[in-house]
Structure 1
Amino acid sequence: MLSLGKIDHIHIRVKDAAVALKWYQRVLGLAPDARYKTDGEHNAAMLVNASGSVRLAISEDPGAVSGAQGAVAFVVSGQDFLEWIDRLAGERVTNREGQTIARDSVHDHRFFCALSFVDPFGNPFEIVSYDHTWLVGKLKLGGHLAV
């Protein structure tokens, strides 16, 4: 049976590529992937994490509608999840409602925890951890169930 391997990259359309590239590098720790060159035919900048397991293709589109696509979700360990909360809070990153990310921004989905936020252009992202039981104890999430 024919099947897909893994996600290669995700396209993110933004109104200002320069601002977006700086934000993704500073906040998410992504760096330009030297293997991909921006040219006339391929005007997307490819950003990658240190291990090469996450790649975002950032392309400038002045007509891009903020937050129009579904969220991009990244999975991390429980400990890393806690560190991401602090990093996003320190960067004053907000959720769709414009509230700054904090520990009370975590959604308990019964078997995983999620933290939803947006980039400066309204593109939605999530950081997810399946270390649910450990996180519920650390964050004292009793009864904070998301729908």
Structure 2
Amino acid sequence: MLSLGKIDHIHIRVKDVAVALKWYQRVLGLAPDARYKTDGAHNNAMLANASGNVRLAISEDADAAPSDAQGAVAFVVGGQDFLEWIDRLAVERVTNREGQTIARDSVHDHRFFCALSFVDPFGNPYEIVSYDHTWLVGKLKLGGQLAV
């Protein structure tokens, strides 16, 4: 049976690639992948994490506007990393869709996983999720409330 291997990269539209490059490198630790060169006709970049298993293609589009119907790109991490991501996003003053700065009370408890939703400077939505649910509920004192 024909099947897909894995996701190679996700395309993200932004209004300013230079601003996006700085934010994605500083906040998410993604750096330009030197294997991908631009031809000068398009202002874009391929970003990757250190292991190369997460790649985002950042493309400049002056008309880029996030849609409320647009889904989020979700990254999965372990429980301890999840806690560290909360703190990192808080230090960077990253916000959610409602404009609230990310903090430990921003975590959504989905009963078998925890999620943290945020946006880049252009409104593109992201999530960091962890399936270390029981451990995180204890650490964050979530009380088992289901997020909607």
Q: TM-score, normalised by structure 1?
A: 0.96
| Matched positions, count | 147
CA 1:146–1:28: 2 relative to 1, 3 Å? same
Which segments of 5 or more consecutive residues in structure 1 lack a partner in the other structure?
none
Q: Does the 8 Å CA contact 1:31/1:48 hold for their aligned counterparts?
A: yes
Q: What do you get for the CA RMSD once the two structures are aligned?
A: 1.4
Q: Does the 8 Å CA contact 2:137/2:144 hold for their aligned counterparts?
A: no
Superposed CA deviations along residues 116-147 of structure 1, whole A, max 9, x for unmatched, are: 00000000000000000110010000033112
Cα shift at 1:23: 0.2
**Identical-pair percentage:** 91
Q: Does the 8 Å CA contact 1:81/1:129 hold for their aligned counterparts?
A: yes
Which segments of 5 or more consecutive residues in structure 2 lack a partner in the other structure?
none
The ranges of structure 1 where at least 4 consecutive aligned residues each deviate by more than 6 angstroms after the TM superposition are: none
Cα shift at 1:39: 1.1
Once residues 116 and 105 of structure 1 are traced to their aligned partners in structure 2, the CA distance between those partners, rounded to angstroms, is 8
Deviation larger for 34-43 or 46-55: 34-43
Once residues 146 and 131 of structure 1 are traced to their aligned partners in structure 2, the CA distance between those partners, rounded to angstroms, is 16
Q: TM-score, normalised by structure 2?
A: 0.95
Q: Does the 8 Å CA contact 2:73/2:125 hold for their aligned counterparts?
A: yes
SS in 1 for 2:143: coil
Cα shift at 1:44: 2.5
Once residues 117 and 70 of structure 1 are traced to their aligned partners in structure 2, the CA distance between those partners, rounded to angstroms, is 12
